[in-house]
Amino acid sequence: MQRTAWKYYPRQQDHNTEQNREKSPACVQLQLMMSSSFNIFRVGISVVIMCIFYKSAVDSLSELSPQKYFSTLQPGKASLAYFCQADSPRTSIFLEELNEAITPLQDYGISVAKVNCVKEETSRYCGKEEDLMKAYLFRGNILLREFPTDVLFDVNAIVAHVLFALLFNEVKYITTLEDLQNIENALKGKANIAFSYVRAIGTPEHRAVMEAAFVYGTTYQFVLTTETALLESIGNEDIENAHLYFFHCKQVLDLTLQCRRTLMEQPLTTLNIHQFIKTMEAPLLTEVTEDPQQVSTVHLQLGLPLVFIVSQQATYEADRRTAEWVAWRLLGKAGVLLLLRDSLEVDIPQHSNVIFRRAEEGVPVEFLVLDDIDSLISHVESNVHIEEIQEDEDEDTKSPNMDVQDDEVAETVYRDRKRPLPLELTVELTEETFNTTVVASDSIVLFYAGWQAVSMAFLQSYIDLAIKLKGTSTMLLTRVNCADWSDLCTKQNVTEFPVVKMYKEGKNPVSYVGMLGTEDLLKFIQLRISCPVNITSVQEAEEYLSGELYKDLISYSSVSVLGLFSPNMTTAKEDFTEAGNYLKGYAITGIYSEEDVLILSDKYAATLPALLLSRHKEGKIESIPLANSHAQDIIQIITNALLETFPEITVENLPIYLRLQKPLLILFSDGSINPQYKKAILMLVKEKHLDSLTPCWLNLKNTPVGRGILQSYFDTMPPLPLLVVVNLHSGGQVFAFPSDQAITEQNLLLWLKKLEAGLENHITILPAQEWKPPLPAYDFLSMMDAAASQHPTRKDPECTKEMDVQENDKKQHEDKSAIIKEPIETLRIKHWNRSNWFKEGEKSFRHDNKEL
């Protein structure tokens, strides 16, 4: 996807940088924890926010006028300035995050100020609309860099970006293995390297690395990358997590040798990085002759255990080589010491060759007898690992991780971040251009948030749709970034992202609630003909039923629905028309109510009022009576008719069939199914033997998750094909068709009768539990409004005359949503499925959902 470009300006070299740095409170605090082997210097920094008369939860920010602010700038001092043209609630989130960042920024000697742009004072940073969502970084009165504010999305991002920009020389950003090798070769025999990989700039891990670089940047060369290929090229395939390596280059004098690398195995936090670097600074191996219980090293101070390799004079050289090898293996995990037994007054058991001392005070040392190095390493790592697990479990109990939702979607967005998107194929709308654009033309509008993973993933599908429709559609494809225009999105009743709405002149906007994918959205747009279609003659009705009338749309809907009514059936026609309007975008519906309607009803044996369902793939037409059927009933009939008789189940369509609330009869197959199996099952369907079940099949080649499903039913992967009945909605029992029997009509019928009689044993019972997203959906715009609710002149959104269209849209959506109940079961995989065609808007349905 395309990202907002940053403008980089040449960094001004300050020859007096070391002299101008000041120690901050945070720096002094860290120094108390560290040895005094080097000095820490600081750059004075001030972060400034410029805004016109914005009164929100940022009152702790000192306020200056532009003239006053620029007059206070000092050479060597840095500042971050943000400009907003007027009172704008959409800036409240950024200002609130900046306010939260005051304390950590002050810990690094960074002052924070707010500058109010006033009409009496002109500034080029106050007047341009396109500059409103950017922040500007200065040193003195020289502009260093500008950032889109969406990259400064929280406290971590603000601190990380400010430090990253200011530590330009201390932290080298690289993208290729060649870059890393060049830096490594240049520093051999001179300095060590702290190389880190983070998944994205502005993350908490990035902030931790920048804070470490602020402290240690004068001692080590920090190198940063976000490229997964670079991480993999040095032998680490875990691209899901951030990593830090310490390259031991200072002791490498032979330029042909590679620097040793030590991986930090703890999560990237400021404290963990500090601890890791301190262990890298400690001596690799220390010789001691005193009581192990009395020895004190930096490792104990950092909470790491000590390993004493017991030696004696006769084997000293060999023992020292062994100890050095162990020390390299345990570097960063434990301190390693060589203990000379001959010069020690304390008694050590004769056969003990290793002493293990934990970091906790008062814990006695362990005397061990280990035969090889691997056993020693395993013993140490297992003890350290147990302690880490216990700490992690405590943390999980105290404060669950609230940032895990959408992680696979976020990974996809991050992986495709360099994929160029032709955004010019869609029109970007603003508060000023929205009304004029949607009134002037039929429009599709995507409401999204530029910082949200799901929105950005769907934006790619939306652009793919624009490519498919280029030059062929009269619909104008547009988009609104709600992160920039929250007021506009609130007026359009958008409270979750992403949302697609269709606007047509003179009609209420219609929300799309299908799958978040290109093909489903394309189908929705192509089927947006005026439904139900008014058929005026028997010949036209026959063309409609045969597919000739709308042959270009047959690929999007394999079923055409025609309502037959006598001219005087007013109420029945109104109900059918309401149902047809509701199903626009999902089904083709037509209505015929001429005087000669009996010609069609007699031909197709239909009792008026009736539905004719033309299944184009199967080439047959069936009739369904509509006597005493209301709009809700008609919608239910048509939606059930759209379902295939024996479908291939996929992740995308599974919720549709679960909506039927019937047990699933699933034929698992590793590829296409045997035609004889399909014929047998379809025959049972035709003879009404499977009315209480939903027959379907699952192709493991198309839906690999099916293997995991089978393995949850059986301990090992069973031979295929395999037929099972899964009773999701009542009891959770899973039954398997006997593998030694052929799948024939007769055998299936006998087996199903045994199931009905309770004569078959289940192979497993699925746990009764509700399966839902790990976290509830956020009403982001309400959160934004709440953040700005303290503004004295701000009014809560309310329905006015100009909002009638949107309110009607909301009411219409809620009314329709009450028609059909939809279960929320789904496969246990993270897939953004929006197949819930007909949402229950006002009610909350809870089912005993189980893993399929």
Pick from 313, 318, 305, 312: nearest CA to 355:
305
Using left for φ > 0, alpha for ψ between -120 and 50, and beta otherwise, residue 264 falls in: beta
Q: Given a cut of 90, is residue 779 above it in pLDDT?
A: no
CA dist 436 → 52, 430, 505 (Å): 28, 10, 11
Confidence of residue 129 (pLDDT cuts 50, 70, 90): low
Query: Strand order in 306-311's β-sheet?
Result: 286-288, 335-340, 306-311, 354-357, 366-368
| 804 exposure class (CB count in 10 Å sphere: 0-12, 13-18, 19+) | exposed
Other Cβ atoms less than 10 A from the Cβ of 777: the count is 10
Cα–Cα distance measured from residue 333 to residue 612, given in angstroms and rounded to the nearest whole number: 74
Percentage, residues of the chain above pLDDT 90: 20
pLDDT of residue 346: 67
pTM for this entry: 0.46
- Least confident stretch, 119-133, 383-397, 512-526: 383-397
- Least confident stretch, 54-63, 341-350, 396-405: 396-405
Listed ranges 12-16, 508-512, 697-701, 786-790; the one with the highest mean pLDDT: 697-701
Q: Which two tokens stand for residue 370?
A: 């280990």
pLDDT tens per residue, range 587-603: 888 999 998 999 998 99
Q: Given a cut of 60, is residue 787 above it in pLDDT?
A: no
Q: Given a cut of 80, is residue 396 above it in pLDDT?
A: no
The answer to whether 224 and 198 have CB atoms below 8 angstroms apart is yes
Q: What is the mean pLDDT of residues 317-323?
A: 90
pLDDT of residue 800: 32
Q: Which two tokens stand for residue 740?
A: 């030694």
Higher pLDDT, 351 or 437: 437
pLDDT of residue 512: 85
Cα–Cα distance measured from residue 254 to residue 252, given in angstroms and rounded to the nearest whole number: 6
Cα–Cα distance measured from residue 188 to residue 204, given in angstroms and rounded to the nearest whole number: 31
The answer to whether 282 and 264 have CB atoms below 8 angstroms apart is no
For the stretch 805-810, contacts whose Cβ atoms lie closer than 8 Å and that sit 24 or more positions apart, written own/partner, are: 805/508, 805/509, 806/491, 806/492, 806/493, 806/509, 807/493, 808/508, 809/493, 809/501, 809/508, 809/509, 809/510, 809/511, 810/493
With tokens 């001004």, the residue in question is 12
Cα–Cα distance measured from residue 794 to residue 785, given in angstroms and rounded to the nearest whole number: 9
Q: What is the mean pLDDT of residues 690-697?
A: 92
Higher pLDDT, 389 or 717: 717
Cα–Cα distance measured from residue 285 to residue 268, given in angstroms and rounded to the nearest whole number: 26
Backbone angles phi, psi at 560, to 5 degrees: -110, 135
pLDDT tens per residue, range 214-244: 888 889 999 999 988 888 888 887 888 899 9
Cα–Cα distance measured from residue 574 to residue 681, given in angstroms and rounded to the nearest whole number: 39
Backbone angles phi, psi at 659, to 5 degrees: -60, -20
The answer to whether 166 and 12 have CB atoms below 8 angstroms apart is no
CA dihedral 163, 164, 169, 175 (to 10 degrees): 160
Max Cα–Cα distance, the chain, nearest Å:
116
- Least confident stretch, 3-7, 181-185, 364-368, 662-666: 3-7
pLDDT tens per residue, range 253-287: 888 888 999 999 889 998 899 989 988 988 889 88
E strand or H helix at 707, and its extent?
Answer: helix 705-713
The answer to whether 431 and 481 have CB atoms below 8 angstroms apart is no
Confidence of residue 384 (pLDDT cuts 50, 70, 90): low
Percentage, residues of the chain above pLDDT 70: 75
Confidence of residue 339 (pLDDT cuts 50, 70, 90): confident
Q: What is the mean pLDDT of residues 22-39?
A: 38
CA dist 144 → 69, 93, 112, 516 (Å): 17, 25, 18, 41
* 813-848 residues labelled b (16+ CB within 10 A) or e (exposed): beebbebbebbbbbbeeeebbbbbbbbbeeeeeebe
Cα–Cα distance measured from residue 735 to residue 400, given in angstroms and rounded to the nearest whole number: 37
Q: Which two tokens stand for residue 786?
A: 């709440």
Q: What is the mean pLDDT of residues 799-812?
A: 39
Q: Given a cut of 70, is residue 19 above it in pLDDT?
A: no
Using left for φ > 0, alpha for ψ between -120 and 50, and beta otherwise, residue 850 falls in: beta
pLDDT of residue 752: 93
pLDDT of residue 563: 92
Cα–Cα distance measured from residue 746 to residue 39, given in angstroms and rounded to the nearest whole number: 86
The answer to whether 817 and 838 have CB atoms below 8 angstroms apart is yes
Cα–Cα distance measured from residue 88 to residue 99, given in angstroms and rounded to the nearest whole number: 17
Q: What is the mean pLDDT of residues 329-342?
A: 87
Q: What is the mean pLDDT of residues 376-391?
A: 64
pLDDT of residue 244: 94
Cα–Cα distance measured from residue 510 to residue 805, given in angstroms and rounded to the nearest whole number: 11
Q: Given a cut of 80, is residue 679 above it in pLDDT?
A: yes
- ω into 498 cis (within 30 of 0): yes
pLDDT of residue 85: 56
- Least confident stretch, 57-61, 552-556, 565-569: 57-61
With tokens 């900046």, the residue in question is 98
Cα–Cα distance measured from residue 277 to residue 211, given in angstroms and rounded to the nearest whole number: 13
Q: What is the mean pLDDT of residues 312-335?
A: 89
pLDDT of residue 414: 59
Q: Which two tokens stand for residue 822?
A: 């939809």
pLDDT tens per residue, range 538-548: 999 998 888 88
The answer to whether 678 and 646 have CB atoms below 8 angstroms apart is yes
The answer to whether 783 and 802 have CB atoms below 8 angstroms apart is no
Pick from 757, 620, 587, 752: nearest CA to 685:
752
CA within 13 Å, CB half, 607: 4
The answer to whether 324 and 284 have CB atoms below 8 angstroms apart is yes
Q: Given a cut of 90, is residue 446 above it in pLDDT?
A: yes
Cα–Cα distance measured from residue 314 to residue 316, given in angstroms and rounded to the nearest whole number: 6
Q: Given a cut of 50, is residue 450 above it in pLDDT?
A: yes
Q: What is the DSSP letter of 648?
A: B
- Least confident stretch, 87-91, 256-260, 464-468, 577-581: 87-91
Pick from 230, 218, 253: nearest CA to 179:
230
pLDDT tens per residue, range 43-78: 344 444 444 333 333 346 667 777 787 787 777 777
The answer to whether 402 and 775 have CB atoms below 8 angstroms apart is yes
Secondary structure (3-state) at 244: strand
Secondary structure (3-state) at 377: helix
Q: Given a cut of 70, is residue 820 above it in pLDDT?
A: no
Average pLDDT, the chain: 76
pLDDT of residue 127: 61
Q: What is the mean pLDDT of residues 314-343?
A: 88
Strand partners, 368: 354
pLDDT of residue 746: 92
pLDDT of residue 99: 79
Confidence of residue 171 (pLDDT cuts 50, 70, 90): very high
pLDDT of residue 48: 47
pLDDT of residue 222: 95
pLDDT of residue 18: 39
- Least confident stretch, 64-73, 394-403, 835-844: 835-844
Q: What is the mean pLDDT of residues 131-144?
A: 74
pLDDT of residue 348: 81
Q: Given a cut of 80, is residue 687 above it in pLDDT?
A: yes
Q: What is the mean pLDDT of residues 187-216?
A: 92
pLDDT of residue 814: 41
Higher pLDDT, 510 or 430: 430
pLDDT of residue 149: 78
Higher pLDDT, 350 or 413: 350
Alpha helices (H) along 416-537 = 434-440, 453-469, 486-491, 518-526
Q: Given a cut of 60, is residue 3 above it in pLDDT?
A: no
Confidence of residue 389 (pLDDT cuts 50, 70, 90): very low
pLDDT of residue 769: 65
Residues 34, 35, 37: CA angle, nearest 5 degrees = 130
